[in-house]
């Protein structure tokens, strides 16, 4: 339904895009809703993490899928902990998906907006209450 690539449209956007102030915000657990209640409560195993990340990489990229998957898995693995607990695997996977689904596109948008002198603000909302369902 778009005749032109959205990133091209944003890179070449006119005055209305540049003259508007832009506030972008993200939370620590953007991909919380990508997991079911059991995954949230008990965590996930390595094989499930690998399936989730492979699916994300396959849906996001065209080339070098194995290299990208290996890089993402490596970057979001806590190498300081010799035993990977399912909760830690869940948290790292959630962080990887949050960064890929939400944070990276928001940072790209903020860059495209700010690079021509537009007022751009970025907020990371990291507060989590003790009674919250969110990890």
Q: Which of 2-6, 27-31, 38-42, 75-79 bottoms out in mean pLDDT, i.e. has the lowest? A: 2-6
DSSP per residue over 2-55, as a string?
-SS-HHHHHHT--HHHHHS-EEEEEETTTTGGGS-HHHHHH---HHHHHHHHHH
* Domain extent listing, the chain: 24-125
pLDDT by residue (tens digit) across 77-129? 988 887 889 999 999 999 999 999 999 999 999 999 999 889 999 999 987 77
Cβ-contact 26, 103 below 8 angstroms: yes
In this predicted structure, what is the pLDDT of residue 7? 80
Burial 58-82 (b: 16+ CB within 10 A, else e): eeeeeeeeeebbeebbeebbeeeee
pTM of the full structure: 0.86
State how far the Cα of 28 lies from the Cα of 24, in Å rounded to an integer.
14
Report the percentage of the chain scoring pLDDT > 70.
93
């Amino acid at each position: 339904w778009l005749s032109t690539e959205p990133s091209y449209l944003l890179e070449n956007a006119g005055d209305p895009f540049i003259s508007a102030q832009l506030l972008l915000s993200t939370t620590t657990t953007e991909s919380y809703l990508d997991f079911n209640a059991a995954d949230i409560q008990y965590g996930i195993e390595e094989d499930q993490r690998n399936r989730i990340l492979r699916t994300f990489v396959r849906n996001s990229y065209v080339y070098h899928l194995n290299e990208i998957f290996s890089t993402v898995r490596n970057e979001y693995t806590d190498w300081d902990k010799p035993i990977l607990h399912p909760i830690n695997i869940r948290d790292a996977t959630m962080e990887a998906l949050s960064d890929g689904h939400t944070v990276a596109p928001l940072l790209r948008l903020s860059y495209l907006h700010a690079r021509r002198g537009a007022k751009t603000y970025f907020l990371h909302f990291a507060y989590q209450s003790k009674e919250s369902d969110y990890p």
